[in-house]
């Protein structure tokens, strides 16, 4: 098959696997490499030192897999509708760990690429690799990067996981999504409870509740503890207020991303009472495993203190 037919067939197979959108970008150096350098130099990555180590690959994804020439980029909608509970959990975490669910789906897409282009080599990534995922998704035509730094699809909003398969298959790229559909809106910047945006498109991760509750190790300082409010794990505020989500986000019907009640509406006293072994038995296969038992107890204690002043 020729590159145009290969690309069309890969998109068809991606849709059949359950991805909500599939686009293709040729690999080239990241046009926002200078912004990444400035962001790292400013210390905004906090303790996420892996972002410094991976910078060369993020600035030029051709360094990740030297033989690769293209990225097949996918979106998977994880929106579940608006839930309310006293201790809030970001929606991306409500189901089974997406690294596992989408990792195996991307491996099936990679197998489809090798089936369509038999000599092709492939490598699949979701979140964990040194891949500039949002930038590749924008260049693959899937959406624009909003002022809240999220990749926003004009069709389904930003409650999406991004996945990437790098390959040397001969593919025809999509046009990049050049429009900036934020316009004069700044709802996300104004709504952020911790003022974590130092400017549009620039997040000081050290102030972000998602970083504090998931990536931060050790005890909170008193201001950090107060700043997480009632967020037990992650934060959705800068997405909840985005008009593109208000208008276009629709609950997913993906069975592999079905919400688990013990995560979506967690039992705070129960969580505080779990020892390490019981925590692993209950939450070991969920996103809560990243901060672990100690991190989740710290988060739960902060939410309880912020709720009733204890
Ligand atoms: C580190 C990280 C975090 C950090 C830092 C977030 C950040 N904004 O950088 C923390 C822990 C805070 C975090 C939080 C969240 N994350 Co996160 N995170 C990542 C990770 C691993 C790397 C991101 C990164 O490189 N950051 C460094 C900064 C400098 O990069 P950047 O903000 O993307 O900026 C680039 C471009 O925006 C561009 N740029 C810079 N300036 C400008 C200016 C203009 C005009 C333009 C157009 C572009 C541009 O250049 C930069 C360099 O390439 C990616 C996965 C991956 N491998 O990419 C997931 C990822 C970005 N996270 C994701 C998610 C879901 C979240 C949360 C929503 C989870 C939650 N609900 O709690 C929040 C959202 C917070 C937010 N507003 O970003 C998804 C986002 C999906 C999407 N549709 O965009 C990703 C892609 C994981 C995935 N595979 O699905 N995350
Ligand atoms: S996830 Fe929450 S704390 Fe982080 S930037 Fe968005 S609104 Fe602010
Ligand atoms: S809330 Fe407004 S400014 Fe922020 S990302 Fe959405 S459209 Fe852009």
Output b/e per residue, 167-196; b: 16+ Cβ within 10 A.
bbbebebbebbeeeebeeeebbbeebbbeb
**Which among 145, 123, 148 has a CA at the least distance from the CA of 134?**
145
pLDDT at 309 over 70: no
pLDDT at 310: 54
Q: How many CA atoms lie within 13 A of 185 on its CB side?
A: 15
Q: Which residue among 144, 185, 240 has the greatest number of ligand 3 atoms within 8 angstroms of its CB, and so is best to mutate?
A: 185
Taking residue 221's Cβ as centre, other Cβ atoms within 10 Å add up to 11
Q: Is 103 in the pocket of ligand 3 (CB under 6 A)?
A: no
Average pLDDT over residues 149-156: 98
pLDDT at 11: 98
pLDDT at 308 over 70: no
Q: Is the distance from CB of 93 to CB of 291 less than 8 angstroms?
A: no
Using pLDDT thresholds of 50, 70 and 90, give the confidence band for residue 85. confident
Token look-up 């067939």 returns 9
Read off the pLDDT of residues 161-198 as tens digits, 9 standing for 90 and up. 999 999 999 999 999 999 999 999 999 999 999 999 99
Estimate to the nearest angstrom the gap between the alpha carbon of 142 and the chain centroid: 15
Taking residue 33's Cβ as centre, other Cβ atoms within 10 Å add up to 16
**Site residues for ligand 1, CB cut-off 6 Å:** 30, 32, 35-36, 39, 48, 51, 58, 90, 92, 126-127, 131-135, 145, 148-151, 158, 160-162, 201, 203, 205, 208, 210-211, 214-215, 234-236, 238
Average pLDDT over residues 145-149: 98
Extended beta strands in 111-244, E state:
122-125, 144-145, 151-152, 160-167, 197-199, 202-203, 231-233
- Residue whose Cα lies nearest atom 8 of ligand 3: it is 182
Q: Is the distance from CB of 14 to CB of 106 less than 8 angstroms?
A: no
pLDDT averaged over every residue in the chain: 96
Read off the pLDDT of residues 264-303 as tens digits, 9 standing for 90 and up. 999 999 999 999 999 999 999 889 999 999 999 999 999 9
The phi and psi torsions of 74 (rounded to 5 degrees) equal: -120, 155
Query: How is residue 242 annotated by DSSP?
Result: -
Query: How is residue 68 annotated by DSSP?
Result: -
Q: Which residue among 143, 243, 246 has the greatest number of ligand 3 atoms within 8 angstroms of its CB, and so is best to mutate?
A: 243
User: Which position among 97, 127, 170, 267 bears the catalytic label?
Assistant: 127
């Amino acid at each position: 098959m020729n590159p145009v037919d290969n690309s069309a067939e890969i998109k068809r197979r991606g849709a059949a696997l359950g991805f909500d959108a599939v686009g293709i970008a040729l690999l080239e150096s990241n046009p926002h490499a200078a912004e990444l350098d400035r962001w790292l130099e400013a210390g905004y990555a906090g303790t996420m030192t892996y972002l410094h180590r991976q910078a060369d690959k993020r600035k030029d994804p051709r360094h990740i897999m030297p033989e690769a020439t293209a990225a097949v980029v996918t979106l998977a909608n994880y929106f579940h509708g608006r839930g309310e509970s006293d201790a809030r959990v970001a929606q991306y975490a409500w189901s089974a760990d997406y690294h596992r669910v989408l990792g195996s789906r991307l491996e099936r897409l990679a197998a489809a690429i090798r089936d369509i282009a038999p000599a092709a080599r492939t490598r699949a990534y979701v979140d964990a690799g040194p891949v500039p995922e949002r930038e590749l998704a924008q260049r693959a035509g899937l959406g624009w990067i909003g002022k809240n730094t999220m990749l926003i699809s004009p069709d389904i909003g930003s409650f999406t996981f991004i996945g990437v398969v790098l390959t040397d298959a001969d593919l025809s790229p999509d046009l990049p999504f050049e429009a900036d559909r934020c316009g004069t809106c700044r709802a996300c910047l104004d709504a952020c409870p911790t003022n974590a945006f130092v400017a549009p498109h620039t997040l000081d991760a050290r102030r972000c509740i998602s970083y504090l509750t998931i990536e931060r190790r050790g005890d909170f300082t008193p201001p950090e503890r107060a700043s997480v409010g009632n967020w037990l794990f992650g934060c959705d505020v800068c997405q909840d207020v985005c008009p593109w989500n208000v208008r276009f986000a629709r609950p997913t019907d993906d069975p592999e991303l079905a919400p688990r009640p013990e995560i979506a509406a967690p039992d705070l006293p129960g969580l505080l009472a779990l020892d390490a072994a019981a925590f692993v038995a209950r939450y070991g296969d969920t996103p809560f495993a990243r901060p672990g038992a100690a991190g989740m107890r710290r988060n739960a204690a902060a939410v309880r203190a912020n709720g009733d002043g204890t």
